[in-house]
Structure 1
Amino acid sequence: MNKRQFFVLACLVIGVIALSRCGNRKAGGADPRGETFAAANTCANCHQAIVASYAATAHAHTSAPASAATVKGSFTSPDNVFHFPNGNEVKMEREDSILYQAAYQNGTLQQKQPFDIAVGSGRKAQTFLSWRNGRYFQLPISYFVPAASWANSPGFPADHPKFDRVIPSTCFGCHSSAVKVKEVQEGMGLKEVFEKREMIAGIDCQRCHGPAAAHVNFHTAHPEEKAAKNIARIDTIPNLRKLDMCALCHSGLKPFQKSPFRFQPGDALAEYLLPTVPFPRKPAEMDVHGNQHQLLVASRCFIQSKTMNCSSCHNPHTTERDLQMFAQRCISCHEQDTHKKTKLSAEARQQDCINCHMPALPSSAITLLANGQTNPTPDSIRTHLIAVYEDAAQSILAKLPRGK
């Protein structure tokens, strides 16, 4: 399994996404990314409502320093134990404020490593990283929300705990806003060396809008100016470049030729990802991230539209889970009359576009072996190949009221 694939277990608290006011403090300098970046809390000075709503999103919670507040799952016996065969088990243990995964064989301690980073918003799952000797390693046990259970981490051996999967900086490129890492010579190659917990957790405003120090400084000095200055205007970016902004992290696992941290609004995705064989555009072949970008652009909705992009359906500044609300966005472009042959009522035709045309399907790449199970459970990912799915449609039609 590709070493980036663990990250579907898709992510946790942004630390301080910034609700405190910092009106007179000069932006930049406080941000570890450099002087061109504004201090995180300055965004709330003018955009308090957006900052507050964004702080609850999965993007904002995609990673966090591990703690009792950010790690899901029980640390109390007997629910803190994951059982492997042959007397192997991993216990989730707490010593003061530090959390550990401790591996035992027939009751004898074999290895014990701390939780350092939690990855995953906690809506579906979480996985965890442990730092030692300048490297991050994925811990063997993750947490699977649908089963409310600790689970063997995806792609890990099913018969014993594994503590040596190295996690590279490219993983942080889609699951944090910055990480402190340097390359050092090791033999004939280079090795990445991380500073422990030195990161900006979650996806913050400047990952999508670009460095904002000049923007904040200008508007602090000119509060009467309402037109945005010195910041990327997303509404002026060409449509394909808007798609590239999301596709950087939502186009599956691809090799990077440039660090994703360097991506700026308006950049072309091709400048960052190495060319690969096109991914099969079949929903059953979705990878860990769902290849949402490739599946969307293969859809008739996209092909027949000149303006459709991710934000046509998604507001990235807030959490949206209401499928009927998404259905209304479908109806804004589609005639309801096309469904009259189903003999559904007008009300029913407005209710479930998503489950019919974008059903949640089992992932073939991400499966988790929950505690006590003998067969792994696949994670479910909503396909972004908008199409007619006969099985899903028939199941939903059977439950909806009929009309004339």
Structure 2
Amino acid sequence: MQRKRPRRHQPRPASWHRWLIPLAFLCIPLLVSGIWILTRSAAIPNGDGFADLTSWQDEVLPVTSWSPDEAFHTNGSTQGYIGSEKCRRCHEDQFKSYSLTAHSRSFSSTDPNGAPENAGFEHPRSSRRYRVFRDEGKLIHQETLVGIDGSDLAVTSLPIRYTVGSGTHALTFLSESSGFYLESPVSWFRGTGWAMSPGYDSPSHPSFSRVVDQNCLFCHVGMIEQSKSNEGKFRVVEQSIGCERCHGPGAAHADRHETSGIAVSDTFSGVDPIVNPAELSRDLSEAICQQCHLQAAVYANGPGQTVWDYRPGQPVSATRTDFQFQDNTQFDVAGHVEQMHGSECYLKSETLTCITCHDPHHQPPQGDLNSHYRDVCVQCHQPNACGIELEARNQANHNSCHECHMPKQPIGNVHSSLHQHRIGVYPENVLAVKGSSNNKGETKLVPIVNEGEIPQKEMDRRLVLAIDATLQSGTPFERIQTQAGWSVKEAFRLASVSEPDVAVQAMAARRAMTLGQPQVAVALAQRVAESSKRGSRQSITALEILAEQTLIQEDNPTALQLYRELTALRMVPNDWYIRGICERNAGNVDEAIDSFRRALAIKPDLVLAHQALQSMFANTDSKLADTHFRLWRALERLERKSSVGANSK
């Protein structure tokens, strides 16, 4: 159900906000750290009743109703791509067989009639309740924030537009808002049905505010178009992994056949511009699979490149390097490459590779997987070399090679068990890998695959960026302290060379802020803002640093300009909240109210925004002011309860 648009409120006299300007700037250091609390400006009843506390949302425009303001275009990384439907004109049989594989179902527009059944469940850890239902021909995911007394504090209902995954193990769902893709907190798992999405089963999670960027969807969609003015926004133009992900851009290939009249089954007198993975070396053939089947701790792109710049026939290192902790023993969902590379079968063979077992054009017969994979194994191994009698093998697992030598292991966040790809001999009833990533000692990041052809200078640059990304993701400094210390020095050195790299400059600017060197950070951020593309991660990092510093310097006009820019480039509730403070300081009352409400549309439990609205409505709308006051009090109680629960564990 769509909520009505916010009412417009008349601005107050100019004198109303004068006292707020010095107060806001006095509290800026606390505001930036996220603990600023507004003072109540009117007497609000102190009752503890929580009746109808969701009524404030009638004034809030849901994020999926925000007006799109972006034009999209096919970027350089899709140059020469024509889409799988055009490939189909000449390759109907291959198209049909591929359409039966899981890869061909990696992403799709959500069909409410074909989606899993309606459901509802509670998630006590985060004090939320979830419903999945159909309404007016749409699949709706609904989240209700529940107070400590059981009353509803906020209800968010978003229509689901896209489904991610083939359903072999799980399905994840996305809403869309003006070119931003928002992940639903709930996913469907083949083994358990509806449950919390991976990364959401915690007391504090991002709810519907997690934006899925184009890097996240690279392994699920075939082709995208980017916004002309914002790299963070895009739209999907080819759903699911297509032909060209493995064979490369098809325009030249199609043009050559169409203009020459030579059938695709005939042989050219030259090199066909399309890539046939079966004709590549083992390393280059594997690289096509490595696009998505490396489970790196972090990766770093080449200068000015993204994951979308990879072309079949290249090594993955041509565009990026994937790093993993040297002591990693965790069994990962997509760690197939690392696992296979650790297998004796792989190390002692010159031909064993991904497509030895997995034909990307054919789905193995589900009723006879044992025979299918056993036929592959006996190409190198004699059946009588197993060491276990055939009768015993039949009784144990119907003579399945892969069930014994690639045993399944549980993966908690997908509620499923996946096959270990480190082929080996495992003791009965023992998991394939006992270790985990919870190692305490110091380690270091290392490339997952051989990067021998990359110059050392470029490898150092990628390692610097990878270490920074690892620390940003929450890895304790102590885990990689030797490399981290080196990376900071190297980043500042690289940022000062004659031909600086904006990615390294942005990283150095952020590190300068962390090290208490704001002047260095601002100087670097200004250079990044001038030389980077609007909407890129580097430009947003620069805007963040510059905006924070202008707040500290009490330069409200510049801060307002910068936060208006940030809110146009990304969907972050704190950006809208601080913009609201700046709008209010500038006397823009309607714009301030709209900004606070947009912050709450993204994150309904943002206490600071409720406090700001309570203060602004205190003299104009006592009912709304009372609702926001009661709500932020209820949210504070809920937060205290969560803190007590967390500390008691």
Give the TM-score band, short-chain normalised: 0.7 to 0.9
Q: 1:15 corresponds to which residue? A: none
In 1, distance between residues paired with 2:313 and 2:78? 21
Residues 74 and 226 in structure 2, CA contact (< 8 A), matched pair in contact too: no
Larger helix percent: 2
Q: What's the CA shift for 1:235?
A: 2.7
Q: Deviations over 1:66-108 (max 9, x none)?
A: 221553x213xxxx21222287311113222222211224456
CA 70–274 in structure 1, closer or farther in 2 if over 3 Å, else same: farther
* Residue 342 (1) aligns with residue 388 (2): yes
Q: 2:53 corresponds to which residue? A: none
Q: 1:193 corresponds to which residue? A: 233
**Map 1:246-261 → 2, pairs under 5 A:** 246-253=289-296, 254-257=298-301, 258-261=305-308
* Residue 390 (1) aligns with residue 427 (2): yes
In 2, distance between residues paired with 1:90 and 1:343? 52
Q: Deviations over 1:253-281 (max 9, x none)?
A: 43241322221111111223335245657
The 10-residue stretch of structure 1 (306-315 or 105-114) with the greater mean CA deviation from structure 2? 105-114
RMSD: 3.0
Tell me the secondary structure at the aligned position of residue 179 of structure 1: strand
Q: Percent identity?
A: 25
In 1, distance between residues paired with 2:140 and 2:300? 32
Residues 183 and 208 in structure 2, CA contact (< 8 A), matched pair in contact too: yes
Q: 1:398 corresponds to which residue? A: none
In 1, distance between residues paired with 2:322 and 2:79? 33
**Map 1:124-143 → 2, pairs under 5 A:** 124-143=169-188
Q: 1:46 corresponds to which residue? A: 90
Residues 327 and 350 in structure 1, CA contact (< 8 A), matched pair in contact too: no
**Map 1:222-301 → 2, pairs under 5 A:** 222-224=261-263, 226-227=266-267, 229-253=272-296, 254-257=298-301, 258-278=305-325, 280=327, 282=329, 285-289=330-334, 291-301=335-345
Residues 210 and 264 in structure 1, CA contact (< 8 A), matched pair in contact too: yes
CA 287–212 in structure 1, closer or farther in 2 if over 3 Å, else same: same
Q: 2:376 corresponds to which residue? A: 329
Residues 370 and 402 in structure 2, CA contact (< 8 A), matched pair in contact too: yes
In 1, distance between residues paired with 2:321 and 2:140? 37
Q: Deviations over 1:228-259 (max 9, x none)?
A: 63211323321111111101100114324132
- The residue type paired with residue 191 of structure 2 is P
Q: 1:374 corresponds to which residue? A: none
Q: What's the CA shift for 1:65?
A: 1.5
* Residue 92 (1) aligns with residue 129 (2): no
Residues 298 and 385 in structure 1, CA contact (< 8 A), matched pair in contact too: yes
In 2, distance between residues paired with 1:33 and 1:275? 20
Residues 370 and 398 in structure 2, CA contact (< 8 A), matched pair in contact too: no
Q: What's the CA shift for 1:157?
A: 3.8
Residues 64 and 70 in structure 1, CA contact (< 8 A), matched pair in contact too: no
In 2, distance between residues paired with 1:279 and 1:264? 28
In 1, distance between residues paired with 2:379 and 2:417? 27
Q: What's the CA shift for 1:30?
A: 11
Q: 1:375 corresponds to which residue? A: none
Residue 404 of structure 2: which of 343, 356, 367 is its match?
A: 356
Q: What's the CA shift for 1:352?
A: 0.8
In 1, distance between residues paired with 2:258 and 2:325? 46
In 2, distance between residues paired with 1:182 and 1:33? 13
Residue 413 of structure 2: which of 353, 363, 367 is its match?
A: 367
CA 393–356 in structure 1, closer or farther in 2 if over 3 Å, else same: farther
Q: 1:214 corresponds to which residue? A: 252
Q: Deviations over 1:323-365 (max 9, x none)?
A: 22101110111122322x42334984993100000011112xx
- The residue type paired with residue 391 of structure 1 is E
In 1, distance between residues paired with 2:157 and 2:201? 18
Larger strand percent: 1
Q: 2:120 corresponds to which residue? A: 81
- The residue type paired with residue 388 of structure 1 is V
Residue 302 of structure 1: which of 346, 371, 376 is its match?
A: 346
Q: 2:112 corresponds to which residue? A: 68
Q: Deviations over 1:197-218 (max 9, x none)?
A: x331110001110111221222
Residues 117 and 129 in structure 1, CA contact (< 8 A), matched pair in contact too: yes
In 1, distance between residues paired with 2:226 and 2:253? 27
Residues 70 and 118 in structure 1, CA contact (< 8 A), matched pair in contact too: no
- The residue type paired with residue 266 of structure 1 is G
TM-score (norm 1): 0.75
CA 32–131 in structure 1, closer or farther in 2 if over 3 Å, else same: farther
In 1, distance between residues paired with 2:342 and 2:160? 40
TM-score (norm 2): 0.48
CA 56–107 in structure 1, closer or farther in 2 if over 3 Å, else same: farther
Q: What's the CA shift for 1:299?
A: 0.4
In 2, distance between residues paired with 1:335 and 1:251? 31
* Residue 176 (1) aligns with residue 221 (2): yes
Number of equivalenced pairs = 338
**Map 1:97-112 → 2, pairs under 5 A:** 97-104=137-144, 105=146, 106=151, 110-112=155-157
In 2, distance between residues paired with 1:48 and 1:164? 41
CA 142–154 in structure 1, closer or farther in 2 if over 3 Å, else same: same
* Residue 154 (1) aligns with residue 198 (2): yes
* Structure with the greater alpha carbon radius of gyration: 2
- The residue type paired with residue 41 of structure 1 is E
- The residue type paired with residue 194 of structure 1 is F
In 2, distance between residues paired with 1:277 and 1:91? 38
In 1, distance between residues paired with 2:380 and 2:427? 22
In 2, distance between residues paired with 1:287 and 1:227? 42
Tell me the secondary structure at the aligned position of residue 175 of structure 1: coil
